[in-house]
Amino acid sequence: MNDLVRQHTALSESDLEWLHLLVSEWQLLSDLSFADLVLWVPTLDGTRYVSVAQMRPNTGPTSYHDDMVGHLVPRGRRPLLDAALDEGRIVREGDPEWREEVPVRVESIPVRREGRVLGVIGRNTNLLTVRTPSRLELTYLQSASDLAQMIAAGSFPFPGQQVDMDASPRVGDGLIRLDADGIVQYASPNALSAYHRLGLASDLVGHHLGQATAELAPSRGPVDEALVKLASGYAPRETEVEGSGGVIQLRAIPLKPKGTRIGSLVLCRDVTELRRRERELITKDATIREIHHRVKNNLQTVAALLRLQSRRMDSDQGREALNEAVRRVGSIAIVHETLSQNLDERVEFDEIADRVLAMVAEISPGKVTCRRTGRFGILDAEVATPLSMVLTEVLQNALEHAFAPGDEGTVEVSAVRGGTSAEARLLITVLDDGCGLPEGFDPKKAGNLGLQIVRTLVEGELGGTFDMVRGPERGTRVVLDIPVRPQK
């Protein structure tokens, strides 16, 4: 819609925002009208109309099987559009149009903002299934007529009330029509069922909805006056009400077709099962985070025990082996600590990489600087855990074998994400400027325990590749190429 409006019309950005607000709300008008809606805006030269948005009803058959967005229509071809735009009134004159042997009633509703008509809504009703309307359908149509008059007067949609239509109740979920005093004139079967789930034992018609709703909501003190006013439809608001038997979501829409409130629409939806599942998920997430927290604590306890054992070792080789084990356990604990603070099983790995760098740097025999460039990004837990161990082993190997005591040098870890959206990959390079690899060294055959761990984790668990070669000038370069899930 933005591109069409900016390309073909003279509307300002504030006018465009008003149209966006209207389009976010007009599913309500479409469902109440049982009609398709097409928003037509006059072009810059005033000789044509361009359709910038379209909506089909959920409550009836469509009259437009094709997409109308982007169509250009010369002025004069559709007289109802001309009359609504020029005269600023709702136009219903004329006989039904026939489209592919289907009779369609056409109406035009001017879209007004601050006294100016920005465009026209074409309301098109498929008459093929017309029959004697029920009380529900008559209430829908009357409510649609009131909303159409509010659009033509510039009082609907409500400024500053952006609605998330995916989360808000819809017409089919449950509709209650109130008079100006908040008394229920009509309640759809779904709305009545929702209130029965909340604990209502009688009918709603004839009762004050605000008071009835407040009585159903548990309260230890006086009646919630704010809830009474909201459920009475005095202002456009949304809320949830939880009773002894369930939870319902309410959305109040004041009706002011001629500037004075004549009543209200209250849309309601039973969200009891949805909220129950959400609570279960919250409980599950909390349990998972607690498990990660306990695993981290247990791993830290294991690391502490290994550290104590190493201090009692007489053998330097045995002491160093235990210290390596402490670092391996510590790298896994870092991942679980990060997971214990997240709501999902994905982690921002850059923080983990920095902590691994700091942990391994403690074993540096000389003045070696460790740094990271690039971003690892967000990784799944099943990737982050083995990758943290791999990174620990590679860095530990570089610091132990590339530099002699007292040497100065640098170890740089770089990360680059690439590949297609379907097969994203993470390329990790660890480059040092130390003494380099010995002649004839083959990383695929080396018996070093650390390199064996790296090969096993990278090729077996991560499904990637691992290589270790001489650096471009000096030192050693380790290259890891692993598949990862695309970031969202």
**Residue 486 pLDDT exceeds 80:** no
SS3 445: coil
Report the alpha-carbon angle 245-246-252, nearest 5: 130
- Regarding pTM above 0.85, the answer is no
pLDDT of residue 179: 95
Task: Confirm if 53 and 69 have CB atoms less than 8 A apart.
Answer: yes
pLDDT in tens, 379-413: 888 888 888 888 888 888 888 887 877 778 888 99
Stretch 127-138: mean pLDDT: 84
Q: What pLDDT shows up at residue 164?
A: 67
The answer to whether 263 and 188 are in contact (CB under 8 A) is no
pLDDT of residue 35: 94
Which residues, in sequence order, are bridge partners of residue 176?
Answer: 187, 266
Q: Where are the alpha helices (DSSP H) in 181-234?
A: 189-198, 209-216, 225-231
- Tens-digit pLDDT profile for residues 179-202: 999 999 999 999 999 999 888 888
Reported as a single tens digit per residue, the pLDDT across 219-233 is: 644 556 788 888 888
Tokens at 9, concatenated = 């019309």
313: pLDDT strictly greater than 80 = yes
Q: What is the DSSP string of 97-144?
A: EEETTEEEEEEEEEEEETTEEEEEEEEEEE-TT-----HHHHHHHHHH
